[in-house]
Structure 1
């Protein structure tokens, strides 16, 4: 079990950038249009901006305000799919027997965003890059809490996913739209996060879903949770959203307790009174 505080957060999605826009989204979640819009990053020189991929630009846009004017913080970066756009472009070059750009290749690896963050901030503190299916948020928060236990006063969690290239979309159904979120995790008792085993009924429910007792999500249904999430934020329920977006919604709606699914278990989030 982990106890911690979220002392600040920042999120970005196309057309949903400021807190009032996210508050409106939390009341009635929707999928924004897939658009080439990207954060401007006016605080960086143009040369540095050009080196950042769309995924990295989203991540930096969210994390920078949380780090500005503060001592260097260890970073936990988490993304399930990572640099899909850049990697797909490299694969296309290989298919055409073209030479690969060394820069593009080096920036396509999963920890490239964490490395670029350290370069941009001129910081040498600890960083971790994670790729976890489904519960990357909770894995990242757990890592951040371990950093706090090691004596760091704060830790920065960065989560980012980008809309995959069209050929990947039939197989990637957990990214309803491009988004990024950053959390500054601090010592405290504001939140309690615990991993709990499923009871017998929950095991049966999941087995039924896998075995045909419940319809499975079809490719391209990443936004299916949008309609479901428009209902009341019920304690102890999930809302069908990717975990980072679900967390953001619960933060803004003041939900006291909710759960996120994990393999053969679930993560329970509780907010202190």
Structure 2
């Protein structure tokens, strides 16, 4: 499977610009989550107030990559989704309180791509995935299939919010909140291969390891999940 990463953008607390991420990639380390909010000033104030931080993260990284594209298919992947909003709703249910229809509608996994479609007026094909540790690769399969069907470009966004403390015994794969957006186009710059195999668990979520490869201009990286071995190869300099 071949593709080209035409452009990328990422956000995490204290990391926004390409230079920020290049510095982090040289010496990756956990980040302090001070509940910073990514800038979504390109949206009307009324719309901004409805957004969770996960939605803000997604919109912040994806919006610049969509500039100049009136119609752009989108694949959004998040293993845990908007866990803080969902836990708040579950807590209200446990207390016997009525649920807000608005909060419920925004808690479902595909709500973020719905907001994206409305704000951009884009009715292109869009998909929201909830995958496990190889969610980036699963999303890439979906995105490349859209390229194969004739889309000139596809947006791929992987985002994870810091889970509430209640979930900390069960969720250990989100070192800090982050969002990574890739604009993919047809090409042979990168190749992704899948084969059976097992190996060590990566120190960082694979979307962040991909950023390290992009920043360091590495030509190969491997990612293991369960019995799957994913090999990314850069075929051109």
- TM-score bracket, normalised by the shorter chain, equals over 0.9
Q: In structure 2, how many angstroms separate the alpha carbons of the residues matched to 1:102 and 1:8?
A: 37
Structure 2 equivalent of residue 265 of structure 1: 228
TM-score relative to the length of structure 1: 0.84
Q: In the alignment, does 2:28 pair up with 1:29?
A: yes
Distance in 2, matches of 1:89 and 1:71, equals 36
Match of 2:80 in 1: 81
Q: Which has the larger radius of gyration?
A: 1
Q: Which residue of 2 aligns with 1:222?
A: none
Q: CA deviation at 1:262?
A: 2.4
Q: How many residues align?
A: 236
The Cα offsets for residues 211-242 of structure 1, whole Å up to 9 and x where unpaired, read as xxxxxxxxxxxxxxxxxxxxxxxxxxx74210
Q: How far did 1:188 drift?
A: 0.3
Partner SS for 2:5: strand
- Paired with 1:65 and 1:177, the residues of 2 have a C-alpha distance of 23
* TM-score normalised according to structure 2 size: 0.97
Unaligned runs of 5+ in 1: 207-237
Q: Distance in 2 between matches of 1:117 and 1:108?
A: 14
Q: Match for residue 184 of structure 2?
A: 185
Coordinate RMSD, CA, aligned? 1.2
Tell me what 1:95 maps to.
94
Structure 1 SS opposite 2:211: helix
Gaps of 5+ in 2: none
Q: Could you tell me how far 1:95 is from its partner in structure 2?
A: 1.5
Distance 1:20 1:258 in 2: 22
| Equivalent position SS for 1:107 | helix
SS of 1:184's equivalent in the other structure is strand
